[in-house]
Structure 1
Amino acid sequence: MNNIAVIFSTSPYGNNSGKEGLDAIISISSFIEDIALFFISDGILQIKSCQKPDNILFHNHSISFKILTLCNINKFFVCDKSLKKLGIKNNINNWTIPVKIITPRLWHKYISCYNIIMNF
């Protein structure tokens, strides 16, 4: 059985890769049972709550990540080193989805368990 890890590493408003990744996950979720999302670097901003992108004339797609729980996707991992680098504190209210904060070592260990890795 295939399992898929999806890495988000880019900021949400510099390009469309975050939205495209979200669309891809929703599309494949009916065929693949084991999907996990990994957020690193600026990709963490994809799921940061309280965004106001309308100020820069963009749509806030971060709230769309909530639909993934309806697709039975509940593995969301954030790299703690990236949090520190971006100056973001780990607070439950900081995220649009329930995330698990893990070290880079665990991040690599978890992601190595997946046989398909997609990067957005």
Structure 2
Amino acid sequence: MINVLVISQSSPFDDLNIRDALDMTLIFAAVDQNVSWLFSGPAVLALKKHQQPNSIGIKDFFKNIKTLEIYDVENIYVCEKSLFDYGLNKHDLLIAAQTLNFSEQQTLIKNQKHVVNI
């Protein structure tokens, strides 16, 4: 298996970057890659519970993030500082995720064969 890391750093309300990252993560998982997903910056907002994107005209694909466990995508990471910056903690998230500080994020990145930054 090849280690692949998908990094999301943009707001879930801009373009379709988070949706594209979700699709890519599921594709990597479907072809038996060891895929991880790191949420950083405003991308952490994609994991926030109780959102209503339909109210601002965005299709609710956030609930699809919960399907990651069906595909055995267990390596979900969030930037510790980004959670703090947006007033969130691990209990505010849709799915279980491991928080990483900057140093731990750098180690994670170094341990990957491929890194996709969306």
Q: Distance in 2 between matches of 1:10 and 1:119?
A: 10
Q: CA deviation at 1:32?
A: 3.0
- Does the CA contact (< 8 Å) of 1:49 and 1:62 recur in 2? no
Aligned to 2:84: 84
Task: Note the residue ranges of structure 2 that are not aligned, 5 or more in a row.
Answer: none
Are residues 50 and 35 of structure 1, via their aligned partners in 2, closer, same or farther at CA, if it must alter by over 3 Å? same
Q: Which structure 1 residue ranges, 5 or more long, are not aligned?
A: none
Per the alignment, in what secondary structure is the counterpart of residue 37 of structure 1? strand
% identity of equivalent residues: 22
Q: How far apart are 1:30 and its partner, in Å?
A: 1.8
Give the helix-richer structure, 1 or 2. 2
Verify the 8 A CA contact 2:30 2:71 in the aligned structure 1: yes
CA contact (8 A) 1:47 1:63 kept: no
User: Take 1:81 and 1:95, find their aligned partners in 2: how far apart are those partners?
Assistant: 15
The Cα offsets for residues 45-102 of structure 1, whole Å up to 9 and x where unpaired, read as 12111111111111121111111111011011111111122222x142x111111112
Amino acid at match of 1:15: D
Q: What is the DSSP-based 3-state SS (H/G/I as helix, E as strand, rest coil) of the residue aligned with 2:76?
A: strand
Q: How do residues 1-120 of structure 1 correspond to structure 2 at under 5 angstroms?
A: 1-88=1-88, 90-92=89-91, 94-120=92-118
TM-score by length of structure 2 reads 0.92
8 A contact 1:3–1:32 mirrored in 2: no
TM-aligned CA deviation for residue 17 of structure 1: 1.0
| CA distance in 1: counterparts of 2:27 and 2:90, whole angstroms | 30
Q: 1:14: how far off?
A: 1.1
Distance 2:110 2:37 in 1: 13
Measured after TM superposition, the shift of residue 26 of structure 1 is 1.4
CA RMSD of superposed structures (Å): 1.3
